[in-house]
Amino acid sequence: MTAISIVPLAQTSQPQWQALWVGYQAFYQTKLSDELSAHTWQRLTSAESAHMYGFAALFEQQMVGFVHVMEHDSCWTFRPYAYLQDLFTHPDYRGQGVARLLIEQVYMEAKKRQCDRVYWLTQEANQTAQILYDKVAHKTGFIQYKQSL
């Protein structure tokens, strides 16, 4: 396989991202509005939204994966945390190292931006993803609680 390149999302097109974004939503059995998706794209690619950004994995100029990151302050450290909110690889490219490259890019960017750590959540049933995550990070044992408002 030809090499995968990782580039900032801002260097890609919204239609390429949108196609994968819809696939990501389908994976999690949800559907977000077009308006919210356009707003998300704007925040991920705008220079004014420095705390929110992303990267794309390209194969022969086609986007085959993406990762979204949000930085935020913490009461526990002087430096911000980088929250890896979304990570998706097109089904045809899974198992070929795309997700690992995207995570490694986030690590490099977070170091450059002087973040204290990178962290993320995954569904307990997503065993396939956890095989990779167990190799590139440490499971914390925390359980997430949430209340929609």
User: Domain containing 125 — which CATH number?
Assistant: 3.40.630.30
What burial class does residue 51 get, using C-beta atoms within 10 Å of its C-beta: 0-12 exposed, 13-18 middle, 19+ buried? middle
The per-residue pLDDT for range 3-52, each reduced to its tens digit, is 999 999 999 999 999 999 999 999 998 999 999 999 999 999 998 888 99
> Does residue 147 lie in a domain region?
no
Q: Which domain holds residue 100?
A: 5-136
pTM for the structure as a whole: 0.94
| pLDDT attached to residue 26 | 93
| pLDDT attached to residue 143 | 87
* Domain count for the chain: 1
> Does residue 92 lie in a domain region?
yes
Task: Check whether 133 has a pLDDT greater than 90.
Answer: yes
| pLDDT attached to residue 2 | 64
The per-residue pLDDT for range 87-99, each reduced to its tens digit, is 999 999 999 999 9
Contacts of 1 (CB under 8 A, 6+ apart): 59, 96
> Does residue 63 lie in a domain region?
yes
CA–CA separation, 92 and 1 (whole Å) = 12
> Does residue 143 lie in a domain region?
no
User: What mean pLDDT do residues 126-139 have?
Assistant: 94
| pLDDT attached to residue 49 | 85
> Does residue 123 lie in a domain region?
yes
